[in-house]
Amino acid sequence: MKTRIIRVGGMTCAACVGRVEGALKAVPGVQSAVANIGNNTATVVYDETMATEADLAKAIVGAGYQVISENREEAAREEQRDLDLRRRDLYISIFFAVVLSVIAMGHMFGLEIPLDPLPFCLVQLILCIPIMYGGRRFYKKGIPALFTKNPTMDSLVSLGTLASLCMGLYNTYRVYTGDISAMHSLSYDSVGMIIALVSIGKYMEARSKMRTNDSLRKLISMAPDEATVIRDGVETVVPASELAVGDIVLIRPGEKVPADATVVSGESSVNESMLTGESIPVDKRPGDTLYGATVNGAGSLRARIEKTGEDTVLFQIARMMEMAQGTKAPVANIADRVAAVFVPTVIVIAVAVFIGWMLAGRDIQFSLTIAISILVIACPCALGLATPIAIVVGTGRGSQYGILYKTASSLEAAARIDTVVLDKTGTCTVGHPAVNSVSDESVIGIVAAAEVDSEHPLAQAIVAYARDRGVELPPHSGFESVTGGGVRCIVDGRKVVVGSGRFLAEEGISVPEGADDLASAGMTCILAAVDGEYRTTVAISDPIREESPSAIASMHADGLRVMMVTGDRKDTAEHIAGELGIDEVHAETRPGDKLEIVRDLQVAQRRVAMTGDGINDAPALTQADVGIAVGSGTDIAMESADIVLMNDDLRSVPAALEIGRATLKNIKENLFFAFCYNVVCIPIAAGLPVLLGFDGLVDQMPMISALAMACSSVSVVSNALRLRKFRPRALGEAAPR
């Protein structure tokens, strides 16, 4: 199966979303399709052997929408051109609508229009033409949607304005036949004001939607346009897009890194805040990794390009954001169900109310005006925008703090977490352990040789210790790693076992009493045996991260239950937990044990977030309601997680949950407003003021309805945009990138 993100133009409401999704799902081979009005995309999962990209594009176009260019820059230009066109059409509609209103209602303000009855009618009719041209997109999309039995918001506006136009034409005919009184019952001004007011709302909505994607656009724009490449000893400035893997580039002080690379020569510090959210520069030396778009400090670097274009970390982050923004949160399901039947229901209500007022003895003009008001005031846009706009803004805000949500579901799930399970090494601690002591230095070379192929931080600490002391590592073979236990290896023809005391015991090796006493002081004790006999204990310490205590305090302040689960010794784990203020500790656990602990919590109706960075954390990360992987973690951990932290700051964990809660609250506010708006406004438009004795409002009801409808969509988008200024308490004064 292949996942494809397609940029779609022309979606205006929840009904449009359903129509695009339905068209895509009808293509053979499409497993799922999710359209998002917030960022104008459709995320499609399909079988490449049964469907092609051309098939998907054909389905979208066939449904009445446009496929926008894949090139992000071109897509942005198309979006801007569409906004400029909307603005031009808006100016046309407003100008002629104002002129039309002055002519139609000037007598109400003492303005005498020197026109005979028939010219008076015809001038208004002529003025409607440019107004309807300015609002032509309503008819181009709304009318065909009626015939395909998938009416949209545009259909409601089209029906309302065409009904008003027909009423105006009917009364113009009456004037032509001699009934001069009909000149006061024209409704051409309603056509003009409905189109003008709704167009204002749609323009403001489109402009606001562009702002929702600012985070993604700013992220992509950070990539430099040019790079200095060294070929055949000659420095040449080339477009960054022309770089190839293996090229050697020169990165001068203050320049951006053009793509992901490895330092070949030189030393410097690099500002990686645009990726991680951390403002402190990172020291770089030969062999270290550089990421595209990060900023070089005072030193000059030469680096070998490893990844270019969309293979870089920057573009992978952008893609992850785009994927998250293109998914649906579970909370959106209720809105989707309502939206699916909303427009047809509104049309039925309008027809029923029209018939009802006619049966009540009202004339056709009164009844039609009421029906038009219902069609215009109903707003599926607010329902359709309530969730996706908030998701787009929320995920974008998270990315500014180095917090990446993989899906909309993970963002919502983060809001509901009540229990946080933390790994110790690399999560609560720095993750760069160092050897404190070795009980028998004579075998450190053998122990280091057994650990040299391991990626575990403790193993790397032992290897570094041996090499720093110039110890030569003997040849080794048959390396075998036991996750959560230790390693087995043949070193210089001798069988070496390295790991925890429990692991050595399971291997049938007798461990003397007190071999791991240093664990009570917060150190991790690694024991080693050679040819079945215990030989040495390596005591390793891993400092607590500076931010970890405040992160734990923030979680407790938010009412979260915090637990530490680690494979380390109980004494070591309890010492670290005591310093952090964590009351619940599960030590000496294996990957399966971590998984069972998470499952047990879920059985007890707890909503669990698991945070870790290692391979041994992957099963628990997958099982948890929300898996959170720290940025320094393994690829497996990051693949298993729902949220990826691009930095090592543990405060990002409560911050990620805070952003989730703020986003979910915003979604609920939007949905509440959207539902309440329609529940309250539709009865008002149906004639409630008349029943209360306010008959004089009827003639103005279509225009009032248009204004209310325009304001509803803008209000939802504006509320969602408030998330752009949200600051997680857990991060204190930390500024977003």
Residue 165: closest CA among 120, 123, 125: 125
Do 674 and 383 touch, CB atoms closer than 8 A?
yes
Distance of alpha carbon 509 from alpha carbon 701, whole angstroms:
88
Sequence-distant (≥ 6) Cβ neighbours of residue 672 within 8 angstroms: none
Single-letter code of the amino acid located at 712: S
Distance of alpha carbon 374 from alpha carbon 350, whole angstroms:
6
423 is catalytic: yes
Residue 456: closest CA among 474, 437, 433: 433
The tokens describing 260, both together, are 């992901």
Sequence-distant (≥ 6) Cβ neighbours of residue 489 within 8 angstroms: 449, 450, 451, 453, 476, 477, 478, 479, 480, 495, 496, 498
Q: Where are the alpha helices (DSSP H) in 304-379?
A: 313-325, 332-359, 364-377
Q: Spell out where 50-182 has E strands.
A: 66-67
**Partners of residue 34 on adjacent β-strands:** 43
Q: Which helix H or strand E contains 573, and what residues bound it?
A: helix 570-580
Sequence-distant (≥ 6) Cβ neighbours of residue 519 within 8 angstroms: 525, 568, 569, 570, 571, 572, 575
Do 62 and 148 touch, CB atoms closer than 8 A?
no
Classified as helix, coil or strand, 260 is: strand
- Cα angle 185, 689, 171 (rounded to 5 degrees) comes to 10
Do 248 and 228 touch, CB atoms closer than 8 A?
no
> Which one is catalytic: 89, 423, 571, 642?
423
Distance of alpha carbon 110 from alpha carbon 99, whole angstroms:
16
Q: Is the dihedral of CA 149, 155, 159, 162 positive or negative?
A: negative
Distance of alpha carbon 643 from alpha carbon 621, whole angstroms:
10
Sequence-distant (≥ 6) Cβ neighbours of residue 105 within 8 angstroms: 189
The catalytic residue positions are 423
